A and B are shown apart, each in its own frame.
Chain A
């Protein structure tokens, strides 16, 4: 058997190889990131990754923390269900990441969270707003607000606008969308509003005329569409074609550069809640916008800002923990208080969620416009 000696050789060199990586790991702080760099929600992953990378580069340029530099290893989950589990397991066991950053979509974060929890590796999601994400365990954090808050903000906004009858159009494949609808309905109906139609669709659908036709007959004042940008753009376009003129309302899932490119003027007069606005005049925000613009040649969106914040909060926690030991790092992240981030002042609460403000954005002439900030 020719194969045996080769196998033996390989086995002998394995320990050598392992010690080599271990020694390497002591010098650098390895941070694992999983993001949807390709696929249906690629806009999210691309932006959050750009933000994260910017933060890591900045930290390294300043000499790193505790005298050690950062190394960011990013893996692509292709926006596919099932991928996050595989690649996060790889980041932890093979690359020896000391913390995991990601994902934007709640469904993806929910897949990765149990793996981080089992391995006692802290995970920080930049933008998953579904409450279930951090309920997985005490090693899972997020630095964004959660759906009950976001749903309530939009419900309050709708009531303030005088909308009494609202139709829903929910993406049943996304925990994010289902959660947002649930909390919107809870607040809206408790405060005198009525849901006249509850329609659904699935991620990847391209034709929404059936749902919109049945919504049209109920003559709502507005339609709440807490979907992701890809579907929302087509929904808006087809709604206008079918002669539905009422505003659409949504959440942070609308943020993506292809939203307005596809929708054109169809979304004019619509509103959505989000995390951050590049129009915010705070010096820290403007400074960040300038740096991001210089590096990538485009203005940052919400996911870019959140990605940046997630890496910065991790670095801050490593500094306070005095090392990268899983348990100590976890405690340090949990103790984050009044951290002045780009997307607002962040305090991590006892449920490992961030309590912070939201912004409401309007769409006018196929462009985003900052409307107001809503405090938690």
Chain B
């Protein structure tokens, strides 16, 4: 294969791995929207909190000066040798923490406003987002923190016998992120389509009042949806930090926005659509950086969004719901 082809394939891999990160965040976005018709703008910041939860638990060197239970807990976590179990432990803890936080936010900020006009809740979400960003800067400081090594991240060696393809670079973390994204997509689809709670979620999306009349515990289902969505954001925070080990309290803003675009691109409310939109966005962005100019990456990415929405207003996989007049 010619070097140009190799470069193209490499850029495609880069794009897919970038897209997988957007996809993880977009899944949570789209799920909360699907059930509640509400864009949770604080979602990107929960992703940041996920990263910091991992840092608080596993970055013992930075906590060395401190004593007490927290420091000793963190030290024992940090002592775990890097590897897959450590990644899974970090994922589980960060997801639990983010789920709890997401439910707390829902209980404190969104539930009291549920009967108010939708714009009130939307503005509140922006407020929550700003609060989390400022709070993060207040307690952790604004300077970027170095994320601990959860797993050694070597390039996967491709055998020389495969010819020129062997010059391609695929990182372990890229494979992990890619597989986790597809795995979570399958799991979520299963929950939404095959379980009882999933049925309640879908029913809720149709008509909240009717649901309540039919004996569905609306508060519980909404809290569950938030918890699940926030857990996904937390997972994304950990997985991204493995690949880009620099975290700061404002790291959620841009990926949050991109993931939102990806969700809209794929058809907001549609799980597979969010993943498809995210991969598309990641690949387009990377190709523009690699072959045109990084200056235009956002312009082209958002141009694609406008173009697709002009052709398919409901997004790539979105259903075109006609409203009765």
Mutual binders A and B: yes
Q: Does A94 lie at the interface of the complex (its beta carbon under 8 Å from any beta carbon of B)?
A: no
Tell me whether A211 and B142 are in contact in the complex, defined as CB-CB below 8 angstroms, given that A200-B295, A262-B246 are known contacts.
no
| Residue in B closest to A256 when the chains form the complex, CB atoms | B143
Q: Does A43 lie at the interface of the complex (its beta carbon under 8 Å from any beta carbon of B)?
A: yes
Tell me whether A79 and B290 are in contact in the complex, defined as CB-CB below 8 angstroms, given that A241-B171, A243-B169, A262-B246 are known contacts.
no
Q: Which of A229-237, A334-342, A350-358 is found at the contact surface with chain B?
A: A229-237
Q: Which of A4-12, A202-210, A305-313 is found at the contact surface with chain B?
A: A202-210
Q: Are A214 and B7 in contact (CB under 8 A)?
A: yes
- Give the distance to chain A from B61, nearest Cβ to Cβ, in Å: 9
Q: Are A213 and B7 in contact (CB under 8 A)?
A: yes
Give the residues from 211 to 244 in chain A that come closer than 8 angstroms, CB to CB, to chain B.
211, 213-214, 217, 230, 233-234, 237, 241-243
B-chain residues with CB within 8 Å of residue A217 when the two chains form the complex = 3, 7
Q: Are A213 and B14 in contact (CB under 8 A)?
A: yes
Q: Are A258 and B144 in contact (CB under 8 A)?
A: yes
Q: Which of A33-41, A149-157, A159-167, A185-193 is found at the contact surface with chain B?
A: A33-41
When chains A and B are docked, how far (Å) is the Cα of A51 from the Cα of B144?
A: 21
Q: Does B164 lie at the interface of the complex (its beta carbon under 8 Å from any beta carbon of A)?
A: no
Q: Are B142 and A243 in contact (CB under 8 A)?
A: no
Q: Does B217 lie at the interface of the complex (its beta carbon under 8 Å from any beta carbon of A)?
A: no
B-chain residues with CB within 8 Å of residue A207 when the two chains form the complex = 14, 18, 244
A-B contact count (CB 8 A): 92
Q: Are A200 and B294 in contact (CB under 8 A)?
A: yes
When chains A and B are docked, how far (Å) is the Cα of A7 from the Cα of B294?
A: 54
Q: Are A261 and B169 in contact (CB under 8 A)?
A: no
Q: Are B10 and A213 in contact (CB under 8 A)?
A: yes
A-chain residues with CB within 8 Å of residue B11 when the two chains form the complex = 210, 213-214
Contact of A230 (CB < 8 Å), options: B144, B153, B171, B286: B144
- Residues of A in contact, count (CB < 8 Å): 36
When chains A and B are docked, how far (Å) is the Cα of A211 from the Cα of B17?
A: 15
Contact of A261 (CB < 8 Å), options: B137, B146, B290: B146
- Give the distance to chain B from A140, nearest Cβ to Cβ, in Å: 27
Q: Are A206 and B246 in contact (CB under 8 A)?
A: yes
Q: Does B182 lie at the interface of the complex (its beta carbon under 8 Å from any beta carbon of A)?
A: no
Q: Does A201 lie at the interface of the complex (its beta carbon under 8 Å from any beta carbon of B)?
A: yes
A-chain residues with CB within 8 Å of residue B250 when the two chains form the complex = 39-40
Q: Are B155 and A233 in contact (CB under 8 A)?
A: no
Q: Does A115 lie at the interface of the complex (its beta carbon under 8 Å from any beta carbon of B)?
A: no
Q: Does A42 lie at the interface of the complex (its beta carbon under 8 Å from any beta carbon of B)?
A: yes
When chains A and B are docked, how far (Å) is the Cα of A209 from the Cα of B287?
A: 11
The 8 closest A-B CB pairs, nearest first, are A38-B142, A210-B289, A261-B146, A42-B142, A209-B14, A210-B286, A200-B294, A210-B290
10 interchain pairs, CB-CB under 8 A? A201-B294, A202-B295, A205-B294, A207-B14, A207-B18, A207-B244, A210-B290, A213-B11, A241-B169, A241-B171
Residues in A lying within 8 Å of B, measured CB to CB: 37-40, 42-43, 46, 78-79, 172, 199-202, 204-207, 209-211, 213-214, 217, 230, 233-234, 237, 241-243, 256-258, 261-262
